[in-house]
A and B are shown apart, each in its own frame.
Chain A
């Protein structure tokens, strides 16, 4: 039977050939929680009397959502995670190491594996050809204890990508456009499988951006094939031997095919308060902004910071636009230091904060005031997301965010390149 990527990976984890719609008990390779969801997982395991984990060396607890901790209750939650890691042998990822999804890709998850994480953006790992999916604290607690989970094998949508991005247009613009097409619940219970020549052209950073936001269309996973780029990404991080060829079978059944010529895309923005409320930058007239945030598991990688630095170099952000830049991991921060990007940001008047989720979750470090507007490279703009229901969040690419910081309103980054910058 010809299989999709989702069907193949799940088949290899339950000892039989499965098809979309089947219910299975599958083994899991990696389990993960973060500091918002992990404490509940730990309490569940303790209450149920589980003191041993199925696979502690591949169980990771991340302190990233409220890090550094802004208040004592959260510091106490962090202590709970540290103690649990110590007593079980699980891996602890400390304050400042970075966002869980970035680190799972950099260090912990390999092609063909199943990852369950107590964070909705666990689908990010799909960029590596891994079946990563978000669940809640209890599902992940059981996964940690038994090394298994139950899954309904998802049907897949084929997202067939052709063409080349115009200057100033990026993977982020594509995924916002795609979510606008599908709708916030248009792919609920499905897997998105990206393919086509434009997907092959994409570097790993772009693939991670696409896979990351699959859940914003309701999807269970956002999956890529693997190739030489995947291999090089793993090799650079000392995991070259973990490479595995992942691709769908010819003739696999896709419930729907969506074809997009990426050369037709323009800089795209999600407007408040839903991710599928999408328009192009040119349609937005004079949207003044108070804060720009460049970072997160969606767009806080070195490739993203390079784009932002290219636009901000030698310029000053508008004094009325607080510009926050948060590298997605310690490695990204180190590279940005080496390449002189951090100096460019600081000289431009931006604030650079410690690797982590930053202001995306509305817990600390950039909470908006009443009536304020933020333009962010994050993946979600729900009302109240950044800590204040009376504020507004627009989502865009790092280029749009950086150029808008210079202008004071949401502005078209293609202008930055026209000027020969």
Chain B
């Protein structure tokens, strides 16, 4: 995966990703995606290009369990979210719907940097700075769900959980 980094800070809550004031758009995710992360960066949704990366600090996605948050990030065309750490429910939700998450030292990435991300081989390459950044590996269970296209796809394929 190659794309441009969109930089955000620490503690980006699901309220900033998918605001409660737009609750009524939860049934219309393509429309909701036009507002993704709007309260953290008003220009993001209109400028993000397919394949770009959201890059944040610690505890990305804290707060509500709303799965609409990773859904609209994915629908907006973002190919993966990179952060120093993720909140637990957001982590599950993103993997369940097939949005790749990458835990790594995002302080080595600046707004607008070009990145190459290879989850399988476990690295992020900052093509702008030339630096390579190590990825904290994801648990096998989650990697399997992600590789099979998300949790529902996994269950449809196996007819049951086939994870442990």
Question: Which A residues are closer than 8 A to B by beta carbons?
Answer: 23-25, 36-37, 39-40, 44, 47-48, 65-66, 71, 73-74, 76-77, 117-120, 122, 134-139, 141-142, 145-146, 148, 150, 152, 184-185, 188-189, 215, 218, 220, 274, 361-363, 367, 380, 382-389
Contacts and interface: CB of A to CB of B under 8 A. Distances in A.
Interface residues on B, range: 35 or more
Contact of B23 (A65, A137, A274, A380): A65
B161 A150 contact: yes
Contacts of B66: 36-37, 136
A146 B155 contact: yes
A150 B65 CA distance: 17
Contacts, number: 146
Given A118-B65, A136-B66, A185-B87, A77 B27 contact: yes
A37 B89 contact: no
B33 interface: no
Contacts of A142: 151-152, 155
B62 to A, nearest CB: 6
Interface in B1-28: 11, 13, 15-16, 19-21, 23-28
Interface stretch (B45-53, B90-98, B118-126): B90-98
A185 B10 CA distance: 11
B79 interface: no
Nearest to A183: B59
Q: Which 9 A-B pairs have the closest CB atoms?
A: A136-B67, A362-B20, A136-B93, A73-B24, A185-B59, A382-B13, A138-B96, A120-B65, A382-B15
Interface string B89-116: 1001100110000000000000000000
Given A36-B23, A136-B96, A387-B20, 16 more contacts: A23-B163, A65-B23, A71-B24, A74-B23, A118-B65, A119-B65, A122-B65, A136-B66, A138-B93, A139-B151, A150-B141, A185-B11, A188-B85, A189-B88, A218-B59, A384-B39
Interface of B: 11, 13, 15-16, 19-21, 23-28, 39, 58-59, 62-68, 71, 85, 87-89, 92-93, 96-97, 139, 141, 150-152, 155-156, 160-161, 163-164
A136 B26 contact: no
B101 to A, nearest CB: 13
28 contacts: A23-B139, A23-B163, A25-B161, A25-B163, A36-B26, A37-B67, A39-B26, A48-B152, A73-B27, A120-B65, A135-B92, A136-B65, A136-B66, A136-B67, A138-B151, A138-B152, A148-B160, A150-B141, A188-B59, A188-B85, A218-B88, A363-B20, A380-B63, A382-B15, A383-B16, A384-B20, A384-B21, A385-B13
B62 A185 contact: yes
Contacts of B63: 120, 380, 382
Nearest to B84: A185
Contacts of A119: 64-65
Contact of B26 (A40, A146, A150): A40
A390 B97 CA distance: 32
Nearest to A69: B24
B21 A363 contact: yes
Contacts of A47: 152
A385 B88 contact: no
Contacts of A37: 65-67
A119 B150 CA distance: 20
Contact of B39 (A118, A274, A383): A383
Contacts of A146: 155, 160-161
Contact of A218 (B19, B39, B87, B97): B87
B77 to A, nearest CB: 20
Contacts of B67: 37, 40, 118, 136-138
A76 B27 contact: yes
B89 A134 contact: yes
B15 A383 contact: yes
Contacts of A36: 23, 26, 64, 66
Contact of B97 (A73, A77, A138, A388): A138
